[in-house]
Amino acid sequence: MKEFLENSVFFGAFISLAAYEVGLILKKKFKMAIFNPLLIAILCVMAVLTLLNVDYEAYNEGGKYISYLLTPATVCLAVPLYEQLTLLRKNLKAVAAGILSGVLTSLVSVFLLAMLFGFNHEQYVTLLPKSITTAIGMGVSEELGGIVTITVAVIIITGVLGNMAAELVYKMFHIHDPIARGLALGTSAHAIGTAKAMELGEVEGAMSSLAIVVAGILTVAAASVFAGFI
Amino acid sequence: MKYIRQFGIILLISALGEGLHILLPLPVPASVYGLLLMLAALSAGVLKVGQVREVSGFLIEIMPVMFIPAGVGLLTSWDALKPVWLPVTIITILTTIIVMVVTGRVTQAVIRKGNGGQKK
């Protein structure tokens, strides 16, 4: 059995989809932010691997074919974005102000909290790119001398957290405008947040996609300045 | 046939994005170049939305699932994370929520000022 699981190329992909299905069922039943399908799926797969004593590498033999689609899927985010270009042009000022303030807030808040916890330079720059998409964030962390493994972990946790918390946060802070909702998800929680924005609506999804690109590029530039602060 | 062609176009643009990522010495991933290329192609009219609509809709819909393997990969980074997990968790939770609130509120405030307002 174990030997089969460690050699199967379909097992990893299958349990990922099955675990997401479990997440969807739980979400439907309990309707609470904590029952986020993505979070449930990740925890379920972790539990199955631990229980069956299967290595992550063996799981990823199948899992990597799901991850493989991530680049084409991100490319496709241009389609909803293109369909909302008129709306974007009309609200250019608000969009620019929103993303820029979000990027600066991210860097400033990481800086202040890192100071508070007495982080050294390496630990601080590891967290600086935490709100941007993984591939850009890894590059920033590496360039500034951070610990890339932790950066990746924190970026993923950030994404899942943003995906989970968005609806509650929007309710608590009265964020109702679809453009604002989309930008907030994309700027704070990159592509994983965008997956949530797509569920909220077309405008939300398009704005979130835009925020991934703009916030990612702005962070590359601004993080190199912020890196000098600690 | 329609789906094959649509998927083919998307893979071609992804591959072009990969090419740019290799050629240009910037920390921009292939996926972001690809997104910009796709947007440019649509804007220039080289590509029509109808030529990629169904497959791109499908890929976007199943996107959350694509993050599962990376999330499960946190199992392997636990050793690195262990010594700093508490401050890192606190910082991650706080900053994510704060950034979400600030971005949303600022955008909303500027929109409500009828695009005539200033930042913050």
Complex-level ipTM: 0.91
**Residue type at A52?**
L
Point out the domain boundary residue: A68, A93, A114.
A68
Per-residue pLDDT, averaged over A199-214, amounts to 95
pLDDT at site A122: 94
Interchain proximity B14–A71, CB inside 8 Å: yes
Read off the pLDDT of residues B7-25 as tens digits, 9 standing for 90 and up. Answer: 999 999 999 999 999 999 8
Q: Provide, rounded to the nearest whole percent, the portion of chain A with pLDDT above 70.
A: 100
Closest CA to A212 of A228, A196, A230, A193: A193
* Confidence bin at B77 (pLDDT 50/70/90): confident
Least confident of A26-35, A179-188, A205-214, B33-42: A26-35
In chain B, residues 35-54 whose CB comes closer than 8 Å to chain A: 35-39, 42-43, 49, 52-53
State whether B23 and B55 are in the same domain: yes
Choice among A107-116, A207-216, B73-82 with the minimum mean pLDDT: B73-82
Looking at B66, B97, B112, the residue that finishes a domain is: B66
Residue A129 and residue A205 share a domain: yes
* Stated pTM of the model: 0.89
Q: CA–CA separation, B90 vs B87, rounded Å? A: 5
**B32 in contact with chain A, both atoms CB, cutoff 8 A:** yes
Look up residue B93 and give its amino acid.
I
Last residue of a domain, one of A36, A68, A100: A68
- How high is the pLDDT of residue A136? 87
Number of A to B CB contacts under 8 A, please give it: 320
Are B56 and B89 found together in one domain?
no
Among the candidates A41, A68, A95, a domain finishes at A68
Residues B53 and B31 in one domain: yes
> Range of B119's domain?
70-120
Residue-number span of the structural domain to which A198 is assigned: 78-229
Across the interface, whether the CB atoms of A175 and B101 are under 8 A apart is answered yes
Is A73 a member of any domain?
no
What lies within 8 Å, CB to CB, of A13 at 6+ separation is: A62, A63, A65, A66
pLDDT reading at A56 higher than 60: yes
